[in-house]
């Protein structure tokens, strides 16, 4: 994946740029005029106090926006950067802008804070986001939290629980997606699991919007996927990949870890690319 040559990623510098970032965030996440969104003043405070407020620009046009802040694991005490949200303009999705935006955020955090870990959360039923986070960036899905923000009352999935997979990204080296090369012998159905040795596979819809229009069916699929992830993470599996299976399905690849101590799931309780909703 390459970034268009004319796209530049840099911190947002002015109050007007902050407002433009908020407007892009609202548009990409399909927020209504009365739905709450991040405050431009909060972004300005983050920008001046160790947070990241990043923009991807094509000329003068802001086409990508991300922001984050310092986090601390309540059990281990480890410091990390928490990326609350990242969005890319609809017309620019699938063109490398999301990757450039996250890499720019990575470089900024390393240069200004020295923090070498980043976390964020995303909705695991959105396979495209899973592929981006795990296979393109090389993050790892380590925690699962049920209904992180409560039942959605705005945006694209109104009436759905906000179940989230929380990923961690090692910033110290170059991004290193897992070269798994592993394909399940049988593609699991949506919300089903297949175990093959130390590998576990979870089936999900390839395109969530193709399911979301049927509210009851979508809730049932989401519940099955969430149950599968909750059980897998509890059994110390880590999500390393999300790949397309066929025209209707995708699958997650999780590997069992022998790590005895994991940071708390609450460490990510705050929420990346086309659209990453917190």
pLDDT tens figures, 52-73: 999 999 999 999 999 999 999 9
Each residue of 191-248: pLDDT tens digit? 999 999 889 999 999 999 898 889 899 999 999 999 999 999 999 999 999 999 999 9
Each residue of 95-130: pLDDT tens digit? 999 999 999 999 999 999 999 999 999 999 999 999
Top-level class of domain 7-177+261-276: alpha beta
pLDDT, residue 178, reads 64
What distances in angstroms separate CA 81 from CA 84, 130, 231, 242, one per listed residue?
Answer: 9, 20, 27, 24
* 135 three-state secondary structure: helix
Token pair listed for 83: 């990326």
Token pair listed for 216: 């009851």
> From CA 112, how far away is CA 152, in angstroms rounded?
34
Higher pLDDT, 37 or 260: 37
> From CA 205, how far away is CA 190, in angstroms rounded?
6
* 162 three-state secondary structure: coil
> From CA 57, how far away is CA 36, in angstroms rounded?
25
Helix, strand, coil shares of the chain as percentages rounded to 5? 30, 30, 40
């Amino acid at each position: 994946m390459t970034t268009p040559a004319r796209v530049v990623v840099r911190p947002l510098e002015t109050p007007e740029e902050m407002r433009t970032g908020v407007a892009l965030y609202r548009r990409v996440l399909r927020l209504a005029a009365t739905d709450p969104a991040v405050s431009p003043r909060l972004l300005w405070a983050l920008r001046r106090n160790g947070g990241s407020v990043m923009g991807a620009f094509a000329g003068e046009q802001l086409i990508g926006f991300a922001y984050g802040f310092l986090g601390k694991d309540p059990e281990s005490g480890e410091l990390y950067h928490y990326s609350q949200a990242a969005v890319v303009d609809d017309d620019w999705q699938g063109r490398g802008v999301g990757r450039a935006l996250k890499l720019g955020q990575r470089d900024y955090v390393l240069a200004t804070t020295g923090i070498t870990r980043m976390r964020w959360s995303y909705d695991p039923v959105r396979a495209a986001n899973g592929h981006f986070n795990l296979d393109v960036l090389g993050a790892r899905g380590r925690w699962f939290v049920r209904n992180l923000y409560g039942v959605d009352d705005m945006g694209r999935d109104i009436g759905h629980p906000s179940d989230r997979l929380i990923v961690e990204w090692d910033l110290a080296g170059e991004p290193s997606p897992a070269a798994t090369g592993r394909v399940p012998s049988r593609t699991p159905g949506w919300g089903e699991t297949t175990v093959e040795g130390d590998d576990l596979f979870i089936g999900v819809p390839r395109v969530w919007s193709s399911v979301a229009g049927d509210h009851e069916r979508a809730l049932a699929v989401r519940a099955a996927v969430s149950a599968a992830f909750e059980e897998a993470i509890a059994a110390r599996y880590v999500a390393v990949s999300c790949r397309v299976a066929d025209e209707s399905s995708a699958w997650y690849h999780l590997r069992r870890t022998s790590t005895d101590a994991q940071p708390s799931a609450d460490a990510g309780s705050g929420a990346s690319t086309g659209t990453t909703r917190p």
